[in-house]
Every structure is written in C-alpha cells, then in structure tokens.
Structure 1
Amino acid sequence: MPALRAPLALVLAGTLWLAGCTRVGPDFQSPREPWVEHWNSPALEQISRHRPQPDFLQWWRVFEDPTLDALIAEADAYNPGLEIAGLRVMEARAQLGIALSGRYPQFQQASADALYLDRHQSGGRNPRDSHSWQYSTGFDIAWELDFWGRFSRAIESADAAYFAAQANYEDALVLLRAQVADTYFILRTFEARLRIAQENAARQKRSFEITERLFRSGDSAELDFQQAKAQYLATLGTIPDLEGQVMRTRNALAVLIGRPPGPLSELREREGLIPLPDRAVLQEVPANLLLRRPDVRAAELAVAAQSALIGVAEADLYPSVTLLGSIVWSATTLDGAPDNLDLVAGPGLAWNLFDHGRIRNQVRVQDARLQQLIEAYRDRVRQAAREADDAATGLAKALESERIRRESTRAALRSLDLANAQYREGFADFQRVLDAQRELFQQQDSYLLSRSDAVSNLIGLYKALGGGWYRDGPLIDEGTRERMKRRTDWDDLLDEPPAPARPDADSEQGERE
C-alpha cells in the first residue's frame, strides 16, 4: 500500500502544478503606438512652462481664486455623478470577488433528510406493525481544476475591470473639476458683461436725457433724441438677458457642487473678476501626461480585461477535470439496524468534442471584441492628443485676441471721451457720440468674451492632459456607506480600497508608485 501512495501523490502534485501553470489564450500586450511616447506639439510648447507650483494635480490654483478652490472641494464631496462613479468601483470590487471564488470548489452542497416509515403487516405467523425514522445527511463537493486557466483568466479580466472602474472614477474627477471651473468662470463672465451693460446703459441714459431736454426746449432736432433713445433702450434690453444667464449659470454651478438651485452667498466676493494666467503650468512632458489621462488608462485596461476573456472562452476547447466527493451518513431507529458512513471521491472528465464550431466561434467573438477595444484605445489616444493640441492652439489664439481687444477697448474709451468733448465744444455732431458709445459697448463685450474664451481653453488644456485626476478622499461618503451596510451585508468591501499613490511633482505622471 505505501508503494502505491507515492505515485498517487506525484500524480496529484503534477495535476495541481498543471492546473496552476497552464493558461490558454493571449497574454496582455499594451496597444500603445510608438508615436505616443514622444508626442508633443508646437502650440503646447508655446503656451506651457515647467515649474513645480502650482501642482498639476490641483491646476485650478493657477487662478489664485479661493472661491473656486472652495467650490471644487465641495463638488468633490457632494457631486452625485462622482458618487455614482465611486459606487461603480465598489461594484467592480464585488465582481472581482465573484471571479476570485473560482479558485475554490465551485459546487458545495450539504443536505439532510428525515423519513418516517409506518409498516403494517398482515398474514403469516407473526404479523407485526413497525414504526421507524430514517435519517441521512450528506455533503457533496465538486472542484474543477484550473488546467487551462479558465478561472485565472477570469480573475485577470475582473482585476483589469476593477482598475478600469477606478480609472473611470478618476476621469469623472477630471471632468467634474474642469466643469466646475468652466461654469464658475462663465458665471463670472456673465457678471462682468452685465456690469458693462449696466455701465453703458447708465452712460447712454445720460445722453438720452440730455438730448430729450434739448429736443423739448427746441435746441436740438428730434433725430438726435430718437437715436439716443433707441440706442439706450437697445443696451437696456441686453440686461434682462444677461441677468437670466447669470441666474441659470449660478443654478448649474449649485447643482454641480451638490446644492439645490439658488443663491450662492460666497459668490458675492470677486464678482465679475476673470483672472487669466498667460501660460499653462506643467510638471511633466505632454506625452507622459497624455498617457496619464484616466480615460486613456481606462481604455487600456478595458483591452486587458477583454484579452483575458479570450482565454476564458478558449478553455472550453479542452477537457475539464473535476474532483468529485461525497460524504453521506445515514441512520435509522429500527433496533439492530446499523448506521452507515459512505465516502465517495474521484475525478471526473468532461470534454465537449462535438460543439459544431460553437466554442471556436465564441473564441472568435471575444477576439473580435478585443480588436475593437484596441482600435477604440488608439482612437482615444489620438482624440486626447487632438483635444490637447486644439486647446493649446485655442489658448494661444485667444490670448492673442485678448491682447488686441484690450487695446481696442482702450481706444474705444478714448474715442468716446474725444467725441463727447468735441460735441460739447460744437466741433462734432451727436451722431459721432452715438457711434463712439455703440463701439465702446461692443468692444468691451467682445473683450470679455475673448478673455472668457482664453480661460475656457486653459481649463480645456488641463482637462485634455488629465489634470486633477487625484483625490485624497473617500470614494463614497460615509452616510451612503452606512446605508448600504444596513441594507446588505457587504463585509469589508465598502472599506476604502488602497488609493493610487500621489505622484511627486518630478515623477512620471503616467505611472502609479
């Protein structure tokens, strides 16, 4: 008997070794293309500079606006879209737990039975009734050995999907912070435009009142009076539209930070101010920042998850070996009847030899899906590069336009002063004053729009390069976590998973530590 145990142990050891080492299907290969590693653009070089502060992960600090800092912090804590993205990370974590369970026996069942027997006999020499109970309990187990990597590939896929969910959370963080900043400065632009409209309306009202008095007294023609009135009313008519835009934009900002629509008291400070840095501050080369973008990483992880699914499908082409076992104990209350304990164990082999191409076509389906995701990833990288280049170009041109329109506004203001002086001295007619007033209003409004466009392109550039992806805080708030725990047994899955390490300013943004 000992002589037989050694070969049996060797066979079992070899089986387990094969189960752990053989994996069918392709190993993941990054779909990155060579050009990405060294990508840059002349526009990006023109409008960016490298310095350690402010941190690229908190790029909005370049505006030196404490109100914006507070709004972004509040959005991080209370925005519902970001909360949903955090919950999807928890969902992916539970899905990974399902895949990890494949390492253990896939079928485990315990059963217990009780049977009452009531026998009535008749005839014979000694007929006798009998009453008894029969009991049995058993435990069945089936463990499919992972010969071909079916379960390890499934774990690999679920693991990649889990990290993709984390990357999607970081992408939601990038988009949210950019949206809060963009909405905030759009609001400040509408406030500034409203102030300019009110100032010009007040200026034009004075001219209208003067021409009205002159017309009523007979010292001026009706034409001057009507033209001044029309221009004043036209400017006055822009104010309600701008006031409506201010309120709608303020409501949009309130919803972004998790508040109901309504006034935001903190916005009273710095009203109408639009700070405009003349450069984007980067701590890393653009190629690394591009690969650091959360949506790019999520697309690459989706490729990794799908690559593993090919192995899961391909494992069905090969036989599966299952270790089966049963333990059954039975007893009865009949006098003299023995109790029984039965142990049954052994391997089982299953092999679908005649699938008529179903399994092979399933492998092909998974492979086609993989190639789709590879193409989607490459397109995502190209689109990311385009977005960054477009934003850099837009910023450069918007800054150029802003400088020109700033000078134009100054010239228009000086022109109005001269027109008013010449009109008072009788060297110019009132039409020149009206033209100067109209031109000033148009130039001031255009200047504010060009300045807003430059700010929007600067925000777009940081967003395109994945700025602001890191957050040192919980994925879901404590109240939500407690409600979910009361509703369902989550064990420790709702505890915060390890956060990605915060990269130093001089480290590569595209890698986790």
Structure 2
Amino acid sequence: MVSLRVMCVAAVCAALAACAEVGPDYKVPPQALINAPAANGAFVSGASVATNAPLPDHWWRLYDDPILNRLIEKALASNVDLRAAQANLERSDALLAAARTAREPSAVADASTYYTQQSAEAVLSHVQPPRHEVYNMGITISYDLDLFGGIRRGIEAASANREAVVAARDLVRVNVAAQTARAYSDLCNAGNQLDILQQQIAVQQKRLALTRQMFAHGRVPSFTQDRDQGAIENSRAQLAPLEARKLNAAFRLATLMGQPPEAYDESLLACHTPLALKTLIPTGDARAMLSRRPDIRAAERQLAAATAEIGVQTAALYPDIKIGASIGSTGAAASFLTPLTNRFAIGPMVSWDLHRNAIRDRVEAARAESRVSLAHFDSTVLTALRETETSLDNYGAALDRLQRLESARDAARSVNDRTSELWRGGKVGGLEALDAQRTWLAAENAVAVAQADVNNDQISTFLALGGGWQ
C-alpha cells in the first residue's frame, strides 16, 4: 500500500510538472524604437563619404597600416579593461551555472553524536535520568518540481544577464580598438605637423638672414628684423605642444596595451605619415548598425532579464512543491543501526507564502523595472542613431574642408614653384620667393591640421558603427 501511494504521488507530481511558467514570455516589444521604420533604413548623413557595404569586423585594416594592425592586436590581447571584462564574464558564467543547479536534486548529509542526560525537573520527575550517548546520522534528498516556473524564469534571467555581460565585453573591445587607432593617429599627425613646422621655421630663418643683409645695406628699417624674429619665436612656441602631444599619444598606446607609460615604444615616434583611408567608409544601413552595436545588444538582454524576473516574482504567488526522501538512524549509541534506531521518510513537501500583498508588491516592482529597461533600450537605440548620424555628418564636413584646403595648398605650391623659377632667373627678389614658400608651407600646415580632424572623425564614425568585435 505504501509503495502504491508513493507511485500515485509521483505520478500526480509528474503531471503537475508539465505546468507552464508564469509571467510574460519575452520578445522584443512591438513598440520598441528598434522596430521603427526610421531606425532601419539608410542613414541621412554621409551619402558622399560612405557606402552601403557592410562594415568589416576589423575596420582598422582598411587603413592598410601594418603597425596599426599590430598595435590593435596587442591591445586587444593585453588591455587591462578587457581583462576585467573577461573576468566579469567568467563571474556571470558561474552565476548562471549556480542558477541551473536549482533544477538538480539537492542532497544534505548530517551526522552528530553527544553524551547527554535529560533534566528530571523538566518532566516533573524526582529521579535522576540515566546518562547515555546519542547519535544522529542521515541523508535527505529533495527535488523542486518548479511547477510554476520560478526556477526556470530565474535561469532565463541569469542567461540573459550573462549575454548582456558578453555584450559589455564586446563593447570594451570596440572602445579599445578605437582608442588605440586614435592614439596612433594623433601620434602620426603630430609628427606630420612637426615636420611642416620645422620647414616653416627654416624658411623664416632664411628670411631673417636676408632681412639682416638688407638692413646692413640700408634697404629696410630695423624693425623688420624684430618682426621676422618674432615670427620665428611664434613658430618655435608651437613645437613643444606638438612634441608633448606625440609623446602623450605614445603613453596612451603603452597603457592601452597593459604597460606603464615609461615602457612606451620609442620607435613609434618616427611616424610622420597620417592614416590614409583609400575607400569610402562602409557603413551598411541603420538596421545593420543597431544589430552590430554591443551596447544595443546589452540593453536588449537587460530587458529580457527584467522580463524574466517578473516570472520569478509571480511564481512566489503559488505553492512550491518538492518531492523529498530521507534515510538515517537516530538513537542511543548502544542501538547503532538497529531496527529500533533506523528511520526513513518519503513524500511531497509543500511551502506557500501566504503574505500576498508583499509578493504582489514585488511583482509590480519587477514590472516597473521592465519598463525602466525598455526605456533604457529605446534611449540606447536613439543614442546610437544620433552618434552615427553626427559622426557621418562631421566626417563629411571635415573631408570637404580638407579637400578645399588641399586645393588651396596645391595653388600655393604652384605659385611657389613659379616664383622660385623667377627668382633663379633674377626676375624677382629673395623676399618674394621666401614669402611664396612661406605661404605654401602655411597651406601645408592647414592641410595637416585638417587631416588630423579627418582621421579623428573617421575613427569616431567607426566607433559609432560598433565595429571591432566578432
């Protein structure tokens, strides 16, 4: 009869185990901004500087610079922020594994022994009770049927949180790649501007020497020497900030690769050539960008976790049913493991929190948290769209400015070449030739500054597009 009852209880529990989880099943809400048509079409900006081709994972290879490729690969392998992100992911893996163990049977073993004497007066006796050694040992096993899916929803939430941490790790990779490219770009652009500035100073020194000769022959007033000397000092004043910018960029590269600043690579300081992108930026469309950006994925997974948490809290409104069994032995040591001390038990166990108001409050709090997560998800989508459009717009403007300055530079160079020919033929004076050369170098410097802005806007665009992870 006992075995029949046990079998009936087990059959009923198995049937109840087929109950569905309480709480909402997660899917991206239809009203989420990521589903809006305007968030899935072509970008408004950048039509002249970008293509609809998909962005490659390793976008920095579009610059075709082996040194940049090596620096980013080293940074992705050694960056301390990435190490922290990876450790955080391992922590999430452990938390997910812990949540999954709730679906496994639990087992508890205990054993104790003690020498005891009961209190006679506690039982209104005037005879001293006997003293004897008592022991207790046993194993208890239980399995939560999770009829209403509280454990399953908890696993669902933990899994979504783990995927959000994966996305956060990928976001760190995106930023490390962009920061490394920007630091290397700053270093090379500072070297380029230093080269041009040194040429400008050399021309100014030649002009000062010629002015002194002319003053010695009474052909110019004395203040012209002071004017030329002031121009030289003004140019020299720009050397130190550029040198500092270049060295600081090398420091940034060292720390991005997990090294102290003093361990920077001195060979990098020899770079004097700006990064050159030979193709239009491949951007794809807004849909591809939103699916690629790790922060969007992290926000969506946080929304999924918050939705699953509603089910976790809702399950507390219903009884928690477990199947349990225990076997052991308890009694006097003299009767150790005899029929008089051996024991066993098997059957269902039910627990039910009847404080309904408190549980319902927690359910409402979970629903509110889900709405917060949806608002954060929408905000992240809007931010991603704004950042990408702004970056493309800034890049287009910077590229147009660079092209116009290059045209002005080319015109100044042409004037300088013709003036140099006239000077060599004795048709113009040395001052005119030096002025033409100075004008050309000033135009070269303007181009160098604009090139630095273009590189910075390119990298900002790649960062906004979310490239840099696989």
TM-score, L = length of structure 1: 0.80
1:354 aligns with 2:375: no
Write the distance in 2 (CA, Å) between the matches of 1:437 and 1:228.
15
Q: Tell me, yes or no, if the aligned pair for 2:167 and 2:295 is still in contact at 8 Å.
A: yes
Deviation of 1:426 (Å):
8.4
Contact 2:320 2:351 in 1 (8 A): yes
Q: Does 1:104 align with 2:85?
A: no
- Specify every segment of 5 or more residues in structure 1 that has no aligned partner in the other structure, as ranges: 120-128, 471-513
From 14, 17, 24, give the equivalent of 1:16. Answer: 14
Does structure 1 conserve the Cα–Cα contact (< 8 Å) formed by 2:150 and 2:315? Answer: yes
CA RMSD of aligned residues (A): 3.1
The alpha-carbon deviation at position 83 of structure 1 amounts to 1.0
In structure 2, the residue matched to 1:371 is 371
Secondary structure at the aligned position of 2:17 is classed as: helix
1:463 matched to 2:466? The reply is: no
Provide closer, same or farther for how the CA distance between residues 15 and 62 of structure 1 changes in structure 2, counting only shifts above 3 A.
same
**C-alpha distance in 2 between matches for 1:18 and 1:444:** 80
Question: What's the counterpart of residue 86 of structure 1?
Answer: 86
How far has the Cα of 1:45 moved from its partner?
A: 4.0
Answer yes or no: is 1:114 the counterpart of 2:116: no
Larger mean CA deviation between 265-274 and 307-316 belongs to: 265-274
Equivalent residue runs for 1:242-253 within 5 Å: 242-253=242-253
Cα distance in structure 2, aligned partners of 1:255 and 1:406: 35
Aligned length, in residue pairs: 455
Q: Residue 28 of structure 2: SS of its match in structure 1?
A: coil
- Cα distance in 2 for residues equivalent to 1:467 and 1:10: 59
Q: CA deviation at 1:103?
A: 0.7
| Partners of 1:48 and 1:281 within 8 A in 2 | yes
> Superposition pairs for residues 395-474 of structure 1, below 5 Å?
395-416=395-416, 439-470=439-470
Cα offset, 1:217, TM superposition: 4.6
Residue pairs, 1:152-231, within 5 angstroms: 152-231=152-231
Q: CA deviation at 1:295?
A: 1.2
Partner of 2:50: 48
Partner Cα separation in structure 2 for residue 34 and residue 227 of structure 1 = 63
* Counterpart-to-counterpart distance in 1, 2:408 and 2:368: 58
- The aligned residue for residue 26 of structure 2 is 28
- 1 CA distance for matches of 2:75 and 2:379? 30
CA positional deviation for 1:415 = 4.4
8 Å CA contact retained: 1:204, 1:437: no
What's the secondary structure of 1:246's corresponding residue? helix
Whole-Å Cα distance in 1 between the matches of residues 105 and 200 of structure 2? 79
Check whether the contact 2:247–2:269 (CA below 8 A) recurs between aligned residues: no
Cα distance in 1 for partners of 2:389, 2:378 equals 17
CA distance in 1, matches of 2:323, 2:179: 56
- 3-state DSSP class of the match of 2:139? strand
8 Å CA contact 1:153–1:311 kept in 2: the answer is: yes
SS in 2 for 1:43: coil
Give 1:391 shift.
1.7
Secondary structure of the residue that 1:272 maps to in structure 2? Answer: coil
One-letter code aligned to 2:74: E
Give the superposition deviation at 1:24: 0.8
- Give the superposition deviation at 1:216: 3.9
CA–CA distance in structure 2, aligned partners of residues 244 and 285 of structure 1: 39
Secondary structure (helix, strand or coil) at the match of 2:133 reads: strand
8 Å Cα contact 1:36-1:287 kept in structure 2: no
The question of 1:38 aligning with 2:40 is answered yes
CA distance in 1, matches of 2:78, 2:295: 22
In 1: Cα distance, 2:116 partner to 2:290 partner: 76
Does 2:265 align with 1:264? Answer: yes
TM-score between both structures, scaled by the size of structure 2:
0.87
SS at match of 1:327: strand
How big is the shift at 1:248? 1.0
Among all aligned residue pairs of Structure 1 and Structure 2, give the percentage whose two residues are the same amino acid.
Answer: 27
Partner of 1:490: none
Partner Cα separation in structure 2 for residue 191 and residue 429 of structure 1: 30
Measure the CA separation in 2 of the matches of 1:444 and 1:293: 38
AA aligned to 1:309 is: E
Name whichever of 23-32 and 418-427 sits farther off: 418-427
Tell me by how many angstroms 1:274 deviates.
Answer: 2.9
* Aligned residues of 1:331 and 1:338 also touching (Cα < 8 A): no
The answer to whether residue 274 in structure 2 is matched with residue 277 in structure 1 is: no
- Tell me if the contact between 1:75 and 1:256 (Cα under 8 Å) persists in the aligned partners: yes
Q: Distance in 2 between matches of 1:392 and 1:191?
A: 26
- Greater shift, 316-325 or 362-371, is seen at 316-325
Aligned residue for 1:57, secondary structure, equals coil
Distance across 1 between alignment mates of 2:355 and 2:290: 48
Secondary structure of the 2:89 match is helix
Superimposed CA distance per residue, residues 66-96 of structure 1 (whole angstroms, 9 cap, x where no aligned partner) = 0000001100110101111111110100110
Q: Which amino acid aligns with 1:276?
A: L
What one-letter code is carried by the residue in structure 2 that aligns with 1:255? Answer: T
Alignment match, 1:306: 306
2:132, 2:218 → 1: CA distance?
Answer: 126
Structure 1 residues 66-85: aligned runs within 5 Å: 66-85=66-85
Q: What is residue 341 of structure 1 aligned with on the other side?
A: 342
| Cα distance in 2 for residues equivalent to 1:436 and 1:359 | 83
